[in-house]
Structure 1
Amino acid sequence: MAGLRPVVSGVAAAAAGLGAGELVAAVLNASASPILSVGSLVIDLTPGFLKSAVIAAFGTGDKPFLIGVLLVVVLALGAAAGLLQARRAPLGVVGVAVVGAVAAVAAVTRTGASPLDATPSVVAAVVGGATLSRLVARTELPGRRAFLRGAVVTAAAGVVAGVIARAITAGQRGTQVAIGKVELPAPTATATPPAAADAFDVPGLTPLVTANEDFYRIDIALSPPSIDPDAWRVEVTGEVEHPFSLTYRQLSALPMHESPTTLMCVSNEVGGTLNGTAVWLGTSIRDLLARAAPKAGADMVLSSGADGFSASTPLAVLQDAGRDSLLAVGMNGEALPQLHGFPVRMVVPGLYGYVSATKWLTKLEVTRFDRATAYWTSRGYSAQAPVKISSRIDRPGSGARAGIVTVAGVAWAQHIGIARVQLQIDGGPWVDCELAGDWSVDVWRQWRYRWTASRGSHQLRVRATDSTGLVQTAKPAAEAPNGATGLHTVQVSVS
């Protein structure tokens, strides 16, 4: 046990320091949390291919996964610092200080950060270093029980501080209160509700509209920005004749209309669920750009969010009179949720989100593709990324009973439309599926097929054809650099 005492000391000190830092962050600024700050830095430094792999493996659980990994790393570094402190004091304490300095730098270099945001990381380093020095000094004293009691109490204090910090953060519901007070402006044009024929009543089939709480969330923010709508502004600037800015109140006073649109994440694998449909309420980006009057030669709008994200959207797409590109303030009849970009986000039909769907929007800068790059394009992703035609089998799952089985799913060819969906069973001929009505060219389309299933294992494969006659490719391609391709294939066991 004596040989493990430095390790136990380091782990306990790490827990104490981290708990203290998180508690200070909860009081001062939750987004300055040491863990969240370092996590955000890790996200920024992680290569694009690795980010895609993590998202593919964990989906919307990528952020809890990263936080869990960081906690394990912190405890492992604490154990290493304990061994180093026992063998060559005070190098263990110096190591703790270095880790704290890294966290402090990460905190103050976040978008919108202030020097005060380094405080939680500094407190974490001071508490962690002092605790490490004290505990390691006690490892040489006799009495195993006394040492263990001190280490356990120290670690428990850190855990309790962390729990209290989470409780305080949860109680700081300023943004939620602000969202609750928002009265959405009345739309000047409402979306036509879907007809009964636009949706199939099939259990397990993806609904035509995704509930807000079920809508996928992929972004670079470990903790969503907390923005006071009364203090929010968006700038329309860059290569324009008439730059201007708008407050939330001014933006809300502009003509607003509803638009049903399916959003797609470029990290969505074939058959994946990183997509969703909502009825968005917002004002036309095209009209805002007309007011700003882009200069000749400009071909891109670089949008920026409060989380440090940016997207490069073709100017021509945003000026397209036939496309409902919005600055959205509402989602499915409610104020935009915090997780999905409150107070304002971009919604652009037909483009993957990494080049169009900036949340927590703060700036629209008119520029050129040869002069500026965005968050993901600077990491090797394509500068222009129209959504690729694709389809998905939602049901049946892994098992079914022999007899008539309804196979169903969704297909999309955004801003073009789906004209045909076909199913292949066990490598046989392609058969046409029944399509639900076409509610909107910017919304996915449901399909179904009544299959007479026999007992055994079967392979189902689906493909779609868009309104121009383009057939979905069977050639597999990875999500990077501009969206996955291939045909969704499932194995079904029929009993």
Structure 2
Amino acid sequence: MPAWAAALTGLVAGAVALGVAQIVAGLIDPGAAPVVAVGGTMVDATPAGLKEWAIRTFGSNDKPVLLGGIVVVLALVAAGLGLLARRRRAYGTLGLAVFGLVGAAAALSRPDAGVAHVLPSLVGAAAGAWTLSRLTRRAMSSGEEDYVAASRAADHAAAGRVLAVPAPAERTTAARARAERAGAERARVAGVGEESGAAESGLAAPAAPPPSPSPVMPAVMRAGAGPGAGPDSGPYVFDRRRLLTGAAAGVAVAGVAGFGGWLLKGSKDAELARRGVARMLPRAGRPAAPIPAGADLRIPGLSPFVTPNAEFYRVDTALVVPSVDPARWTLKIHGLVDRPVELTFADLLKRPLMEADVTLTCVSNEVGGPYIGNARWLGARLADVLREAGIRREADMLLSVSQDGWTCGTPVDVVMDGRDALLAVAMNGEVLPEAHGFPVRQVVPGLYGYVSATKWVTEIRATRFDRDEGYWTPRGWAPRGPIKTQSRIDLPHDGDEVTAGRTTAAGVAWAQHRGVDAVEVRVDGGAWRQARLADTPGLDTWRQWSLDLDLTPGRHTISVRATDATGYTQTSDEAPPAPDGATGFHTIAVTAR
């Protein structure tokens, strides 16, 4: 078999394995699919520095890039297994079995895994091994049939019984032609001998001597082949047509199975559930005050005061967004409490709900980075629920757990100090999007998301920082994550060319739960100038700013800094996001012409 054909058999076998695994995972849990399970394990094992590099390089596309990279690696491995199977079929089968076990182990290591989570990888590997064996036999089995058929035809022709060489439709043209030529030649030779003998003696011609080896033999005999040889060493002819038709069938099976798994993962059911919740979502018992007209300066290129849901940043570890049925969702509150509580979604909606304008920020945000957004949230006050459960004085951490097993450690004193910490069910006037935590998520003003903003939350355990850790703490991040006072230039952009003379600089500044009191801008390291501030509805949101600058022709640097309501001015000392948030002035360079 040519090398390209062997690699193709491996690729198709790998595709079938992944497709079958996907549909089995759709029946069990989408997170049990081998690509997702291996990807999740890789995310968990990623060092903080590499995680930061991925976010800086790929942004919110880091998950598709990771999954795509895993698929590419699996494709290369599958092609390699096909080449190994070219030498001995058992090698390819063994390789697929190993990768099935790796996928099963990864699935079993996930926080919410059960024994059934190993099935997608194992069943997929079995389907891939069967496909590899079938394609290899399909591509190479017809030669032996041609050899036998040609030999039989020659024998019959030599005996005076000329028979047509069977030519199945699937046999390659070249092999069929060789077999027919061999049979015809023997028939011609045998026929001449019979006619001569009969003409001279009037008697039947004697049996022809044993025929010499057929011309087709060299084409179909593999070196070393002989009686009793195994399937990997017998006579063969490579059949391109049979291979390609088999490969096409395998690709079709992989595609249908993969699509079926996607349909089964429940995204449509979750969307229908969201629509149902939208019809029953109550109004806020305590609505937020209208957003001031001056909160948005409406400058083209400046981030709007309210971030649309579709544009709100997303940074989490979920490679597959969990599909949670609100009818089955519960929130368990236990641990260091006097009265453990378990709430259903209906229970939560019956509670007094309130609205709050809160800006969320990811600790991975570089200075001037995009991982920040502002929204109006609707939900129940978390502090009220904790009081009903009777949280004990010794508890100083709330360890919240996501549907997919991710954990987060939130300081108790922050949640209980009167700020609008919510169990949120809606965002900007609509039911939470799946990607942002449907049906319920945490929102805690003033803390970076890794210690506060648990999506798809299902459990909150009152505990202590000296006993438990959230997901990111043992990976090098600080156990507590108060948001630092920061500011950003939205326009002009770094590297822009602007018109010399009057130029408007604008951006946002934030110091959640302290509030922004001032923003200053300087050009080329000169004196700081006070920027104009937009209005704000409270302390927990970002604040827009703008300033008109007079730029002379040439290259200039523009820097910004903010001062919060406590009087603290952000530091110029540059620090990376790890372990507790980036610091430094956001500075850009522009050219005025």
Which AA in structure 1 matches 2:425? V
Structure 1 window deviating more from structure 2 (80-89 vs 379-388): it is 80-89
Which AA in structure 1 matches 2:8? V
Which AA in structure 1 matches 2:392? K
Q: Does 1:164 align with 2:262?
A: no
Assess if the C-alpha contact under 8 Å between 2:266 and 2:323 holds in 1: no
Assess if the C-alpha contact under 8 Å between 1:11 and 1:155 holds in 2: no
Name the residue aligned to 1:203.
300
Structure 2 distance, partners of 1:273, 1:165, is: 36
Structure 1 window deviating more from structure 2 (132-141 vs 224-233): it is 132-141
Which AA in structure 2 matches 1:367? T
Candidates 448, 453, 471, aligned match of 1:352: 448
Q: Does 1:458 align with 2:553?
A: no
- 3-state SS of paired residue (1:370): coil
Structure 1 window deviating more from structure 2 (223-232 vs 149-158): it is 149-158
Structure 1 window deviating more from structure 2 (105-114 vs 305-314): it is 105-114
Name the residue aligned to 2:2.
2
Name the residue aligned to 1:221.
318
The 5-angstrom pairing of residues 317-328 of structure 1 reads 317-321=414-418, 323-328=419-424
Which AA in structure 1 matches 2:417? D
Structure 1 window deviating more from structure 2 (438-447 vs 485-494): it is 485-494
Assess if the C-alpha contact under 8 Å between 2:131 and 2:250 holds in 1: no
Structure 1 window deviating more from structure 2 (253-262 vs 402-411): it is 402-411
Structure 1 window deviating more from structure 2 (148-157 vs 288-297): it is 148-157
1:410: how far off? 0.1
Name the residue aligned to 1:297.
394
Deviations 1:54-113 (A, max 9, x none): 112111111111111011011011122223333354232112112112222333443434
Query: TM-score scaled to structure 2, two decimals?
Result: 0.79
Which AA in structure 1 matches 2:410? T
Which AA in structure 2 matches 1:66? L
Candidates 565, 575, 581, aligned match of 1:467: 565
Name the residue aligned to 2:409.
312
Question: Given the superposition, is the C-alpha separation of residues 181 and 306 from structure 1 closer, same or farther in structure 2, using an over 3 Å criterion?
Answer: same
Structure 2 distance, partners of 1:403, 1:121, is: 64
Name the residue aligned to 1:241.
338
Name the residue aligned to 2:77.
77
Candidates 369, 378, 382, aligned match of 1:285: 382
- 3-state SS of paired residue (1:480): coil
Structure 1 distance, partners of 2:116, 2:258, is: 23
Structure 2 distance, partners of 1:269, 1:284, is: 31
The 5-angstrom pairing of residues 399-414 of structure 1 reads 399-414=497-512
Assess if the C-alpha contact under 8 Å between 1:22 and 1:161 holds in 2: no
Assess if the C-alpha contact under 8 Å between 2:285 and 2:352 holds in 1: yes
Name the residue aligned to 1:212.
309
Name the residue aligned to 1:370.
466
Query: TM-score scaled to structure 1, two decimals?
Result: 0.95
1:452: how far off? 2.1
Structure 1 window deviating more from structure 2 (349-358 vs 195-204): it is 195-204
- 3-state SS of paired residue (1:457): strand
Structure 1 distance, partners of 2:250, 2:530, is: 62
Structure 2 distance, partners of 1:468, 1:443, is: 16
1:34: how far off? 2.2
Name the residue aligned to 2:20.
20
Which AA in structure 2 matches 1:87? R
Structure 1 distance, partners of 2:116, 2:245, is: 32
Deviations 1:311-331 (A, max 9, x none): 10111111112x111111111
Which AA in structure 1 matches 2:578? A
Q: Does 1:394 align with 2:490?
A: yes
Structure 1 window deviating more from structure 2 (114-123 vs 151-160): it is 151-160
Q: Percent identity?
A: 44
Count of aligned pairs between the two proteins? 494
The 5-angstrom pairing of residues 428-467 of structure 1 reads 428-467=526-565
Candidates 347, 357, 362, aligned match of 1:265: 362
> Which stretches of structure 1, 4 residues or longer, exceed 6 Å deviation after superposition?
none
Question: Given the superposition, is the C-alpha separation of residues 430 and 142 from structure 1 closer, same or farther in structure 2, using an over 3 Å criterion?
Answer: farther
Assess if the C-alpha contact under 8 Å between 1:258 and 1:281 holds in 2: yes
Name the residue aligned to 1:179.
274
- 3-state SS of paired residue (2:423): strand
Q: Does 1:339 align with 2:435?
A: yes
Name the residue aligned to 1:41.
41
Assess if the C-alpha contact under 8 Å between 1:403 and 1:454 holds in 2: yes
Assess if the C-alpha contact under 8 Å between 1:12 and 1:151 holds in 2: no
Assess if the C-alpha contact under 8 Å between 2:440 and 2:456 holds in 1: yes
Deviations 1:124-172 (A, max 9, x none): 1011112223334546843363365146415632552366236625885
- 3-state SS of paired residue (2:79): helix
- 3-state SS of paired residue (2:105): helix
Which AA in structure 2 matches 1:405? T
The 5-angstrom pairing of residues 46-65 of structure 1 reads 46-65=46-65
Question: Given the superposition, is the C-alpha separation of residues 177 and 111 from structure 1 closer, same or farther in structure 2, using an over 3 Å criterion?
Answer: farther
1:28: how far off? 4.7
Name the residue aligned to 1:96.
96
- 3-state SS of paired residue (2:546): strand
Name the residue aligned to 2:347.
250
Deviations 1:174-215 (A, max 9, x none): 111111011222211111112112220200101111111111
Structure 2 distance, partners of 1:278, 1:162, is: 39
Name the residue aligned to 2:157.
none
Assess if the C-alpha contact under 8 Å between 1:16 and 1:154 holds in 2: no
Runs of at least 5 residues in structure 2 that lack an aligned partner in the other structure: 141-231
Question: Given the superposition, is the C-alpha separation of residues 177 and 433 from structure 1 closer, same or farther in structure 2, using an over 3 Å criterion?
Answer: same
Question: Given the superposition, is the C-alpha separation of residues 454 and 166 from structure 1 closer, same or farther in structure 2, using an over 3 Å criterion?
Answer: farther
- 3-state SS of paired residue (1:90): helix
Name the residue aligned to 1:418.
516
